[in-house]
Structure 1
Amino acid sequence: MASKSTFPKLTPWDETRETLHAYARVLGAIRAAFTPELPRDEHGSLRLYTSGLTTTPIPHPLNTSRNFSLSLDLRNHYVLFSTSEGDVHQWRISEGLSATKLGEQIIAKLAEMDVHGKINQRKFASDRPNNYAFDEAERYFGILSQVGRLFENLSEALPGEKSPVLVWPKLFDLSFALLGTSPDSQILFGFSPAGAGIDGAYFFVSPAPFQQDLLQQTLPTGARWHTSGWQGALLPYAEVADKADTAKRIQDFLQGAYQLQKSIL
């Protein structure tokens, strides 16, 4: 019996992806409202955990001995609201709540805890009902978990200061930054499930500042330079999915693009 690929092909899953992205924006907006400001806007980000994406514990604004957290559980398919007292409330993702409705219901739960704050609801405002397929979400999360491990390993291997590996609700990408010696220089390593003008999921390595002579450099097999909207190296996930050596191909791309770009740091 053939083993199940840890990097399977991503079949069309637009509606499920849009649902997860919409709900991630809800969680990110709430985390940003109650978390002390962090460098590079990290207070509005999410983290990978064993079952999905999470805000990590957020201190109660009136009593820091208490906390709460919000999670997208992609193994059991719930949005979870948990408190340090052991209370748990859950919303089944397949119910199809709009992002606006989900946000309102979470805010009501926060009010029951006497947690009140200025939440930027414009970040997630949408009355569109959401569709969701369990298998599509599980496939995506399986891939994301593997990518997260690759990024953590790469981050440990690279020299210099790095940001954490984070999920960004705004664009729904997983990424970390290798920081340069000046405040404006960095190399961003990431994985996005979709992008404007890009067909399907992709890996990227994006330097700031971008040097135009990079366009003359040859990237690893399957990769190309991207200059529309953002600038850097791009590797479509479809180029490496479901291969015997997928992890190595991804690592070769990340390392190869880094070697070409590291002079900007």
Structure 2
Amino acid sequence: MQNFPLLQEQQYVKTRRRIHSVAKLVGRLREALVQPIAKNDNLWLSIVSKGFSTPPMNAINELEIGFNAEILAVEIADNKNRYASVTVTGKTLSELCTEVLDVMKADFDITPNVTAGEFDSERKIEIHPESAQEFLQQSVNFSEILNAFQKGIPFNDGIKSQVCLWPHHFDNAFKWFSGRKIDEIDEFMGIGVSNGDEMYELPYVYMTIYPELRKMNTLELPEGAHLHDSGWQGLLLTYEAITEKKTAEEQSALVNNFLDVGFKGIKRGFSKR
């Protein structure tokens, strides 16, 4: 793992919002191409080494649609060795959608039930390559740590979902269920990384608690973390706390400690309801 890059907040927010808009387009295309299931649990994306992508759509020649942050393009490929890419920069999201739909029809004989009118037609997507690389690096770093932590939870320890990048909220996360119900509500944790939002503009690691605990002040706080109770209840580790550590090893250790200590602490909190 490389060091987490130092992010200039204003530039990062612009980059994050523009890449997020592309994620929403990719997610919308997947939504139009797969069969719906309960709670839209099939509409997730995955972080990959160069950006993010849909999982293969088995019914459509394992079609994949993704965003490559290194070349700033939407990429489309299937198991028939067909490949196409559409450059993102300099276009509105509506124009990008039109071009992607044209390529899918011409090169893959696929016509999703999506229209360009669903997307913004005024603002051009401008992404600086260096900023895109910084976005990619933090995203891949977090993904590696989160996936390793999720895989390390034993199968006989509760029930865990897979790690998913959700195109709407733009966070990469999974859920851990204790197997109990509290007042008819499943007891679970949401464990993940947000790419940033209106509350915290830079990325952050979080653990959410459902249903909420009556007391949080008894939870053990991991190093650098703090309690959060505005809008959702849980633990939060800011990006600034991570980049205060100087080496990749120290940064990774801090995030892993947050996940490990936070997970065990919330489980204890669940057991003491």
Aligned to 1:252: 257
After TM superposition, the structure 1 = structure 2 runs for residues 33-112 of structure 1, keeping only pairs within 5 Å, are 33-38=32-37, 40-60=39-59, 64=60, 66-93=61-88, 95-112=89-106
Task: Report the secondary structure of 2:5's partner residue.
Answer: coil
After TM superposition, the structure 1 = structure 2 runs for residues 160-179 of structure 1, keeping only pairs within 5 Å, are 160-179=158-177
Shift of 1:134: 1.0
Aligned to 2:3: 6
Deviations 1:74-124 (A, max 9, x none): 22322112233323221223x232222222222233333443444487875
Paired letter, 1:19: R
From the superposition, tell whether residues 248 and 130 of structure 1 become closer, same or farther in structure 2 (CA, over 3 Å). Answer: same
Deviation larger for 166-175 or 48-57 = 48-57
Note if 1:243 corresponds to 2:240. no
Aligned to 2:124: 129
Question: TM-score w.r.t. structure 1 length?
Answer: 0.86
Within 1, Cα distance between the matches of 2:165 and 2:83? 23
Shift of 1:25: 0.3
Task: Report the secondary structure of 1:240's partner residue.
Answer: helix
Question: Runs of 5+ in structure 1 lacking a partner?
Answer: none
Over the aligned positions, Cα root-mean-square deviation in angstroms equals 2.4
Deviations 1:189-235 (A, max 9, x none): 11112122224221101121111301443412321111222221111
From the superposition, tell whether residues 126 and 213 of structure 1 become closer, same or farther in structure 2 (CA, over 3 Å). Answer: farther
Note if 1:192 corresponds to 2:194. yes
Deviation larger for 238-247 or 82-91 = 82-91
Task: Report the secondary structure of 1:111's partner residue.
Answer: helix
- Are the aligned partners of 2:202 and 2:239 in contact in 1 as well (CA < 8 Å)? yes
Deviations 1:116-146 (A, max 9, x none): 4444878754532112011111122122212
Aligned to 1:16: 15
Task: Report the secondary structure of 1:248's partner residue.
Answer: helix
Within 2, Cα distance between the matches of 1:38 and 1:154? 27
Task: Report the secondary structure of 2:141's partner residue.
Answer: helix
Paired letter, 1:190: G
- Are the aligned partners of 1:69 and 1:82 in contact in 2 as well (CA < 8 Å)? yes
Task: Report the secondary structure of 1:177's partner residue.
Answer: strand
Within 2, Cα distance between the matches of 1:125 and 1:58? 27
Question: TM-score w.r.t. structure 2 length?
Answer: 0.84
Aligned to 1:264: 270
- Are the aligned partners of 2:171 and 2:193 in contact in 1 as well (CA < 8 Å)? yes
Paired letter, 1:11: Q
Within 2, Cα distance between the matches of 1:191 and 1:141? 14
* Percentage identity across paired residues of the two chains: 21
From the superposition, tell whether residues 123 and 225 of structure 1 become closer, same or farther in structure 2 (CA, over 3 Å). Answer: farther
Aligned residues, how many?
Answer: 257
- Aligned with 1:148 (options 105, 121, 143): 143
From the superposition, tell whether residues 249 and 147 of structure 1 become closer, same or farther in structure 2 (CA, over 3 Å). Answer: same
Within 2, Cα distance between the matches of 1:163 and 1:127? 38
- Are the aligned partners of 1:25 and 1:123 in contact in 2 as well (CA < 8 Å)? no
